[in-house]
Amino acid sequence: MKTRMKDWEFVGDINWETYGGKWYYPDPRKALCWYVLNMWEATGDTSGAEFICEVNLVDLTVISPRDVSSALEYCGLGDELLELKPAERYSTMMLAVHDYGIKAPLASISGKRLDRVRAEARRYAEEAMSDDELLASRLNRQVNQIGSTAADFMSGAIDAGLRRAAEEISSGAREPTAVERVLFKIHATCKGQTLGGVTEESVSMSQACATALECTEALKGAK
């Protein structure tokens, strides 16, 4: 699929070359889903400036209402959304979710020519729009050290990789890595307490990590 840059909706300062900006385009094959180009200057020294443009995907159909509400509150949005037309309301919600950090990172393009960086990022997004295999591979790839995928990030389940690891280790499938062991101890010790308070999900994660640690110790004792 081919698009023109003027077809992408711009969000940001008029001096985006200096302060960065975002452009978004609706997924042509799925409602309430957008591709977002997020660009900024990575260095302050203009003589050696390097620009970065992220290619992200936001799909409101896979994000929980609770996470959407948190994103809207974070961005200071409330009842005024009801006054907007549906298309503008949903795109505003999407941008709030994106800025809140709930998005699938598909690619990151960098270089010293901002026009070329943005163009390359747009072409990558266009390819993902029409190539199911490429999109699936990017959504299913791990994006952090605990095994969480880009799809996990978009659904707001950033710790999903750690939960999967805990389940694998509890089943005896493998031993934990050094990083996993440290994170298991942190979650098991906090007993579900987070900066946002204790939730059903955080308690469940704490219990899963505690079980993984117990199974690891049991296996060590059996050897």
For the stretch 155-192, pLDDT in tens is 999 999 999 999 999 999 999 999 999 999 999 999 88
pLDDT at 223 over 70: no
pTM across the whole model:
0.86
Distance, in Å, from the CA atom of 33 to the CA atom of 59, rounded to the nearest integer, reads: 4
Distance, in Å, from the CA atom of 61 to the CA atom of 185, rounded to the nearest integer, reads: 34
The tokens describing 133, both together, are 């295999």
| Each residue's pLDDT tens digit, 50-82 | 999 999 999 999 999 999 999 999 999 989 998
